[in-house]
Amino acid sequence: MTRPYIYITRKCSEEQLAPLYEVADVDMWPEEETACPREILLEKAEKADGLLTMLSDSIDRELLDKASHLKVIANLAVGFDNIDVPYANSKGIVVCNTPDILTDTTADLTFGLLLSTARRLMEASEYVKQNQWKSWGPLLLAGHDVHHKTIGILGMGKIGQAVAKRATGFDMKVLYHNRSRNEQAETSLGAVFTSFDEMLATSDFIVCLAPLTNETRELFNKDAFKKMKKSAIFINAGRGAVVNEEDLYNALVNGEIAGAGLDVFLNEPIGAEHPLVGLHNVVALPHIGSASYETRYSMMNLCAMNIAAVLNGNEPKTKVVI
């Protein structure tokens, strides 16, 4: 009997993918930092029973129409806006993601990004490396305090709550805006539910952890930035398309807000030529929210277990339901 065929769109740890090798023939794109070309992905999808995909892979109708054998897609991410889930489901294809595993790791990175931006840590490090440190000065590379300030979190899901928990250790006041109130966050963390506009106007740090939806696309635009304090710092560890990048650039250049820390962008990857990267008050990271060895290995293993479960006729652990 022919074994199922699995294609993995980026080089992953074979040790973490062991559940797949037990049940299928596995083929993997050999590069870690270079995406699998679209034409190859389409070719592999035509014969694949399962796909292990990255957030950067577009799993659209064109691909799904070609993938006549496909039974399961496991996305190495919490998000799944790169996959046409309803269309996949209509073809009987199960879609899985990797929630929960990366909650604390992403929260660590988000708060680290906030600290780095507020205290100008990246600038300070480069200042020393470029041999510019000649003497001590009272306001040399002075930044903004984080402790006892107000943080506003858009998206009080599990990652949002984990960020809020870290904020309480800095004696911060926690505001949040969500589609619905999160009573657990209010009870356990003292978070205060506000309107979006009130959160923008009163927070010293605005942290975006919202998923990309029709409602959140370009939610952070010129109108939103104008409502923020001039001393406010904007942090985005959610989705790049939630921000109008041109409006953010103008807000930073015109002094409407003080700084931005960004782990996600509209069109990734970006380089030094990106307008936001050249600004001294921007910390730009290459989408590394969940990038710890422990977390990424666990995500790979969960993807493998989900695919193996479906191919064996069982229910996967983390099926996407919309």
Residues annotated as catalytic (active site), given as ranges: 239, 268, 287
Which residue from 179, 176, 147, 146 is spatially nearest to 161, judged by alpha carbons?
Answer: 176
Q: Which residues contact 61 (CB under 8 A, 6 or more apart)?
A: 84, 87
Which residue from 247, 237, 36 is spatially nearest to 154, judged by alpha carbons?
Answer: 237
Q: How many Å apart are CA 74 and CA 53, to the nearest integer? A: 6
Q: Which residues contact 311 (CB under 8 A, 6 or more apart)?
A: 4, 23, 24, 49, 50, 71, 72
DSSP helix/strand/coil, 18: helix
What residue type is assigned to position 255 of the chain? G
